Amino acid sequence: MIAQLAELGHRRALLACAALLACSGGPPALDARHAIGESTRGAATVSARLAAAPPDAPVPLGLVATTASSSPPELVRIALAPTPSVRWRRRLSADARPELLGDAVVVPSAGKLLVLDDATGQTRFELALPGALYLGAARHGATLAVVVREAADGKQPPRSHVLAFDAHTGARRFRHDSDAELGRPAARAGMLFLPWQRQGLIVLDLQTGRELSFLRSQDDVIDFVSADDDDVWFGHRTLYALSRGYDGTRATAQALGPAGERLPGRPAAFDSAFSARPAVPSAHGRIALHFDPERGPSGAAPSALADRVYFVFYRYVFAFDGAGVLRWARSLPHDVITARALRSGLLAVSDDGSLAALAAADGAVSALGGVGLPLAAASLVGSAGLAPPPSPAAVPADAPSLRLGLLEVALDIDQRLVPARALATTALAALPDPEATRDLLELYARSTTPPELSRVVADALRTRRTGLEHAVDALLARYDFLEQTRPAPLAVLAPALVEAGERRAVPRLLERMLDHETPLAVLPSVVRAVVELGDTSVAPPLLAFVRLYRNDSSFSEAPDALIEAARGVLRHGGAAAPAQLAALTSDGRARPELTSALATLLAPQAGGPPSEAVAVAAPPATPPLPRTLSRADVRATFQTHEAELRACLQAELERDPKLTQLRVSFVAEADGSAHAFQITPASAPLGDCLYPKLAGYRFARFSGGRRVVRHTLALTRPADPAQALRVESDAEAPWWSRAAKTLRKADPLSSPWWQSALPIAPLVTRERPPAAASTPPASSTPSASSTPPADDTWWVPTTPNPKP
């Protein structure tokens, strides 16, 4: 093994060059002693040692973060009390999220692992990690242990390395190499817990490196291990407390399942120990569960501190209780990049550098101030029993009710966050509050609601049984060109009202049935609702409706609504109904398709009394419907209406000559109707022109549930202005084919990447001379070694140990 330890001038920092991949003659590989099938052993020893260990002293709240959008990137240590402030900052490009471990900050950067003094930010020592992936570190007492993994070469599984050393001096305690996959460690009671192959835990004595125990799960995945002041927890979706009797099965462990799998992004209880935590802005940390597990009294299941499990999805925070019941939801102004569950609530750090405390009971938000720096990733540590820093504001903001909190999230316009908005929508629909029905309708009516969410609202409305008066009122909404209002979501409302048996809706449904602005595609649903909810009073208007349009071209292609109305006449019209319907066809004036359908309806009644049975007369045998709406079907429908689409698009092109394509997204119903149209780019005149047309399109029927459809219309302006605009339906084309249309021309002078002559520089560690001039002006007390000299271009090979 090549190891170098050198004094760095006047500082106590040490350079420990542990060129791990080049090491030879190390200790025996860990996995050599753990064969497949080996069972758990030594759990009692570990458990006893854990039980005997006194609780650790509370860890004060601390925050270390990497900055975003700043050049060069920085590492920032933020003190939280009395108000958030920068303790120190230094220019440093972190390769993984920094960690705050006692009085040290551990961060990988440029192929090295830096151990910094928490008080000053100065480097204590460095470890070279050439080509290795830093997974994480753990600390207990003065011993710091890190786990890294070599880069995979595609032939052999990457090796993992565990290295323990003194957190102050860098003096090595032990090192293990393993062909098995090891994960981010945890430490407690002088022991190091290492996740092994996602199946087990290896427990080492942190002082000697001697293996104390091997715990292997026989029925679950072990994706992480975590230690808090009192306990060691491990697991994946389910959290297990390490206990004396654990034999590798769920039954012998205290388990807590925070049920993140059902949530958007499927957050695990803890970050995977086998993946590096990025230091740059990413979904990592922004989609997470935050809770502090507490071991239950003897025999009882563990629980979450304060009975709260917090789910963070970017700017949203949802708080669940131990039973999985949603208690409150909040929308914060900025993305939460990390958080800590405390006894009083959740302490959240946002990407704008601000902190907020959300009360466990009701989610009341107390703004705690911030450092005014955009943050990319952060680690927030501290004992859960601690109180959050005091809020500058005397009184936290009033906490809205669960309904209003959910509504705020659902009505948000951030299209990144649609999955969580859907979660809020579904939760809103589950509330018994009658006003929730109105909220859902408002959400549907918003032009900013994407089709994905409209579909969720549509599904949710069908489950509502309270507040249906709002759904009935919503039937009054109709298309108005002058007022720019959209029609009621009849494709959604009509079936929902039928399922709820809401007979109060009948007069307004009749009104919509007779309204020409009700799209033809939706009309069958409306008539069906009239039939299903109505009584004998609806027979006359239904008959008049069929009679008026029996020979009208309006229904020549889609007579479904008339057939539905005829069905209603039979169902509610009494004894005279069959004769009345027969009279509609006997004079030969009805259109053939209607005549045929009426004959089918009336046929079973020949000679028999009119009854309800008439209404369910078997339709003629039809081939089975496809499971879903195919792209080809969507394309065919748009092509059918190409001429009228072109008229709208031509006008839009005069307003926006740069328009090259139009995206239409909507919710398609199984009956062929469609709703919740969203047109991109959004243009009011184009929307006014297209919307009434699109709402009337009827797509192919299918047997599955409603689905969201996205369709692209590619516009090709002809060279000759006299020629018509070409409108191509592009739904079937994959995304890369669209990109291919706008391929950039290759630069003929540039060489392809595989002909690059750049040498691959050897990765070495070198000591950097202390230079006051290189200190970043914004830093309080940065380490000089963090700032590369101006000529330190990365491709220039460097030599080890340059003279200061």
Partner 1 sequence: MVLRVTRLPHALAARVLVLALLLGAPGGARAAEAKARMPSLAQLQTELSSGDEARVMRALTLLGKRKQAGSVGVLTAFVQAGQPDALADRAVAALGELASPLALPALTELVRHRRPEARIAALSAVAVLPGEAPLGLLVAGLRDSDPVVRGASARLLGERGDRSAIDVLFLALERGVPEAAPALGLLGDAAAVTRLHGFLGRVALQTMLPGYERLLARADLDEAVKLEIVARLGEVAVVTVKRFLERELAAGVAARSPRLAHALRETAKRIEERPTPGGAAAP
Interface contacts to partner 1, rule CB under 8 A: 479-484, 514-517, 520, 544, 547-555, 584, 588-591, 685, 688, 691-692
DSSP string for 365-392: EEEEEE----EEEEEEE--TTSPPPPPS
- Residue 764's SS3 state is coil
Instruction: Provide the minimum distance between the beta carbon of 550 and partner 1 in the complex, in angstroms, as a whole number.
Output: 4
The distance of closest approach from Cβ of residue 681 to partner 1 in the complex, given in angstroms and rounded to an integer, is 18
Element (H, E) at 678: strand 674-680
Residue 340 to residue 291: CA distance in whole angstroms: 7
CB of 653 to partner 1, least distance (A): 13
Consecutive H or E run containing 451: helix 451-463
* Shortest Å, Cβ 689 to partner 1: 8
What is the smallest separation between the CB atom of 645 and partner 1, expressed in angstroms?
15
Supply the minimum distance, in Å, between the C-beta of residue 520 and partner 1.
Answer: 7
C-alpha span between 91 and 89 (Å, rounded): 7
| Nearer residue to partner 1 within complex by CB, 505 or 590 | 590
**φ and ψ of 696, to 5 deg:** -90, -5
Report the chain's C-alpha Rg in angstroms. Answer: 34
Q: Which CB sits closer to partner 1, 26 or 718?
A: 718
Nearer to partner 1, 540 or 604 (CB): 540
Rounded to 5°, the CA angle 407-411-413 comes to: 150
Instruction: Give the shortest CB-549-to-partner 1 separation in angstroms.
Output: 7
Distances (CA, A) of 191 to 3, 57, 139, 590, 728: 25, 16, 10, 87, 66
Q: Are 169 and 14 in contact (CB under 8 A)?
A: yes
CB nearer partner 1, residue 627 or residue 655: 655
- Print burial letters for 23-61: b (CB count within 10 Å at least 16), e (below 16): eeeeeeebbeebeeeeebeebeebbebbeeeeeeeebeb
Residue 131 and residue 111: Cα distance in Å, rounded? Answer: 7
Q: How far apart are CA 600 and CA 618, in angstroms?
A: 8
Sheet with strand 674-680: strands edge to edge: 674-680, 661-668, 707-716, 726-729
Between 408 and 644, CB nearer to partner 1? 644
- Least spacing, CB of residue 517 vs partner 1, in Å: 6
The smaller minimum CB distance to partner 1, of residues 289 and 488, is found at 488
> Is 95 in contact with 108 (CB distance < 8 Å)?
yes
Examine residue 54 and say whether the peptide bond preceding it is cis (omega within 30 degrees of 0).
no
Min dist CB 665 to partner 1, Å, is 21
**Structure-token pair, residue 170:** 């860098």
The nearer residue to partner 1, 106 or 475, going by C-beta atoms, is 475
Q: Which lies closer to partner 1 via its Cβ, residue 442 or residue 517?
A: 517
- C-beta of 481 vs 535, nearer to partner 1: 481
Distance in Å, CB of 676 to partner 1, minimum: 17
Cβ-proximal residues to 116 (8 Å cutoff; 6+ apart), any chain:
75, 104, 105, 106, 107, 122, 123, 124, 783
- Compare residues 484 and 536 and give the one whose CB is closer to partner 1: 484
Q: Least separation, in Å, of the C-beta of 110 and partner 1?
A: 57
Residues 6+ apart with CB under 8 A from 112: 126, 127, 128, 129, 765
Tokens matching residue 552: 């009208």
Work out how close the CB of 484 gets to partner 1 at its nearest, in angstroms, rounded to a whole number: 8
Neighbour tally for 719: CB within 10 Å:
6
Q: Closest distance between partner 1 and the C-beta of residue 368, in Å?
A: 49
Nearer to partner 1, 426 or 551 (CB): 551
At closest approach, how far in Å is the CB of 464 from partner 1? 29
**Which amino acid is it at 318?**
F
CB of 699 to partner 1, least distance (A): 20
E strand or H helix at 65: strand 62-67
* Pair 518, 558: CB distance under 8 Å: no
At 377, list the tokens.
């990733």
Element (H, E) at 651: helix 642-655
Identity of the residue, 514 or 724, whose beta carbon is nearer to partner 1 in the bound complex: 514
DSSP string, 244-272: TT--SSGGGSEEE---GGGSTT---SS--
By beta-carbon proximity to partner 1, the closer residue of 480 and 656 is 480
Residue nearer to partner 1 on the CB measure, 467 or 696: 696
Taking the complex as a whole, the smallest distance from the CB of residue 687 to partner 1 amounts, in Å, to 12
What is the number of other CB atoms lying within 10 angstroms of the CB of residue 246? 23
Closest contact distance (angstroms) between CB of 304 and partner 1 is 54
> Which CB, 483 or 747, lies closer to partner 1?
483
Give DSSP secondary structure letters for 541-586: HHHHHHHHHTT-GGGSS-THHHHHHHHHHHHHSGGGHHHHHHHHHH
The residue (of 125 and 555) whose beta carbon lies closer to partner 1 is 555
Task: Name the one residue in this structure whose structure tokens are 């100065």.
Answer: 122
Whole-number Cα distances in Å, 305 to 293, 361, 385, 737: 6, 12, 9, 52
Which stretches does DSSP call E strand in 99-229?
99-101, 104-109, 112-117, 123-128, 132-140, 143-150, 160-166, 172-178, 186-188, 191-196, 200-205, 211-216, 224-227
Nearer to partner 1, 278 or 692 (CB): 692
Whether 294 and 303 have beta carbons less than 8 Å apart is answered as yes
Q: What is the C-alpha to C-alpha distance for residues 727 and 709, in angstroms, rounded to an integer?
A: 18
